[in-house]
Chains A and B, each alone.
Chain A
């Protein structure tokens, strides 16, 4: 039963990893930008959530209402003021600049919030669980995270393939120059894409801060999980990213079941195996 339990918890944990990864996947898909600061932006969102929660005295899950639009604005501004200038034929400048951004965010957070680990308390929901037949326990909070992840991926998928925004994203991603001549301002389109990605980051950050303790240096670790989920699922495929997150979560929990020290190692090993066997991921997007 422990094994079944480990797998179920792994699936639910995978939802959180998919939330880490979705924004990364979106940004890479639209503008071929690998955002090294993605994990730090998740941690930034968690700290913003902490500030909102302590200032207003509200449940961190409701802080999303404030943090998500705030992160969206930060994303739009960041893209227009900094990142758009780095985009071009060379992929090195955006890598270097987002790496620098990662250092700046970490040190900025350290300066403001200190290195002490923080945690947001969501109250009774954190310990609430559903008892299923067969001795299976499903935490309400992990379940909520998983459902949110599915809803977020579904919404992104809808935006991408059914809305005017999504058409603008896909057209710009396909051919920037032609899109410009169709009346699309690419700086604005990229700004909107980053805003959307950081709204997802905000949701991920709040859940991270409710689920575990976090500190200013927690970003790069989240980035790795996000990367692994994206690569396992296949670049440019959002549902694939969700499956990638789930596989990562299951492998980590099975590793932990064998030996508590093997949790992260098992996840990385699974990632390496998939990278070796299917370098383009399990569900690569078929380009038309």
Chain B
């Protein structure tokens, strides 16, 4: 059975369709990459999976359970967590406290176990030395890492990454890829929306392409990137038949 399954999800805002009969499965341990032009409905798809936004129709299954009617906090506690494209830390709280919120509320830990979980996550995301700094004072890379740390603090089985590599230098990007590969190796299933394609290809083993809320292609990363549909729609290149 797949860990996550979207079944015919549909959602639109007025005339703009962000999810159009969207269906796919993600198996446990998988790393799925999501690409598509701006405004294609990629982030909206995350909102539908995390429960921030309710679908007009269709269902979301997680661990064999229909979670369509489940609230966002309940989905987080069930094991789905995400990072945001624009980092949104709790600015007045320390880095450690930011992760601690996820560890106590999302992962349901308390006391020493919660502290240990946070320290482990901060260590894995390279933020251990910044643990006591106010999150508002972090650099962009550190904020991106905190997004990842906070998502991991909830001890997810499914991790949703939203353009976490965007805006980073080449070197920063490489170290982030290393971290994400580590996370994946620890058994966490990943869905990753990313415009920095080479970063994505260094981690994922399957790609889907979304445009106007529709899944227009799915398969091996290399095959997808070379396909005519992707080059036309996503990269904007005219391809002669």
Residues of A within 8 A of B (CB): 164, 167-168, 170-171, 174-175, 177-186, 287-288
> Are B73's CB and A178's CB within 8 A?
no
Cβ distance B131 to chain A, nearest Cβ, rounded Å: 15
Q: By the criterion CB–CB under 8 Å, are A182 and B102 in contact?
A: yes
Q: Are B77 and A174 in contact (CB under 8 A)?
A: no
The secondary-structure label for the interface of chain A is helix
CB-based contact B50/A181 at 8 Å: yes
- The answer for the CA separation of A167 and B93 in the assembled complex, in Å, is 8
- 14 interchain pairs (CB within 8 A)? A164-B104, A164-B110, A167-B93, A167-B101, A167-B104, A180-B71, A181-B76, A182-B73, A182-B154, A183-B73, A183-B154, A185-B71, A186-B73, A288-B93
Residues of A within 8 A of B2 (CB): none
Kindly state the separation between the CA atoms of A177 and B88 in the bound complex, as whole angstroms: 10
Cα of A89 to Cα of B236 in the assembled complex, Å: 39
The reply to whether A183 and B77 form a contact with Cβ atoms under 8 Å apart is yes
What is the CB-to-nearest-CB distance from A33 to chain B, in angstroms, rounded to a whole number? 19
Q: Which residues of A contact B219 (CB under 8 A)?
A: none
* Shortest distance between the CB of B187 and any CB in chain A (Å): 20
Assembled-state Cα–Cα distance A167/B104 (Å): 10
Whether the Cβ atoms of A179 and B52 lie closer than 8 Å is no
List residues 48-94 of chain B with CB under 8 A from any CB of chain A: 50, 52, 71-74, 76-77, 81-82, 84, 88, 90-93
Q: How far is the CB of B193 from chain A (nearest CB, A)?
A: 16
Q: How far is the CB of B83 from chain A (nearest CB, A)?
A: 10
Given known contacts A170-B92, A171-B90, A288-B136, A181 and B110 CB-to-CB distance under 8 angstroms: no
Q: What's the dominant secondary structure at chain B's contact region?
A: helix
How many angstroms from the CA of A168 to the CA of B105 in the assembled complex? 8
- Asked if A174 contacts B52 (CB within 8 A), the reply is no
A175 and B106 contact, CB distance less than 8 A: no
Is A288 a contact of B88 with CB atoms below 8 Å?
A: no
Residues in B with CB closer than 8 Å to A179 are 90, 101, 105
Instruction: Mark B residues whose CB is within 8 Å of A.
Output: 50, 52, 71-74, 76-77, 81-82, 84, 88, 90-93, 97, 100-102, 104-108, 110, 134-137, 150, 153-154
Chain B nearest Cβ from A31, distance in angstroms: 15
Is B154 within 8 A of A175, CB to CB?
no
In the bound complex, do residue A167 and residue B82 qualify as a contact, i.e. CB atoms below 8 Å apart? no
Are the CB atoms of A182 and B82 closer together than 8 Å? Answer: no
Given the known interface contacts A181-B50, A182-B106, A183-B73, the answer about A288 and B81 at a Cβ–Cβ threshold of 8 Å is: no
B76-A288 in contact (CB<8A): no
CA distance A178 to B110 in the complex (A): 20
> Which B residues are in CB contact (< 8 Å) with A167?
93, 97, 100-101, 104
Max chain A Cβ within 10 angstroms of own Cβ: one of B50, B72, B100, B154: B72
Tell whether, in the assembled complex, residue A174 and residue B90 are in contact, meaning their CB atoms are under 8 Å apart.
yes
Complexed CA–CA distance, A209 and B137 (Å)? 47
**Alpha-carbon separation in the docked complex, A167 to B92 (Å):** 11
**Cβ of B153: which chain A residues have Cβ within 8 Å of it?**
182
Q: Which residue of A lies closest to B110 (CB)?
A: A164
Q: Are A168 and B101 in contact (CB under 8 A)?
A: yes
CA distance A193 to B145 in the complex (A): 31
Q: A181-B82, A183-B102, A184-B101 are in contact. Are A175 and B73 (CB under 8 A)?
A: no
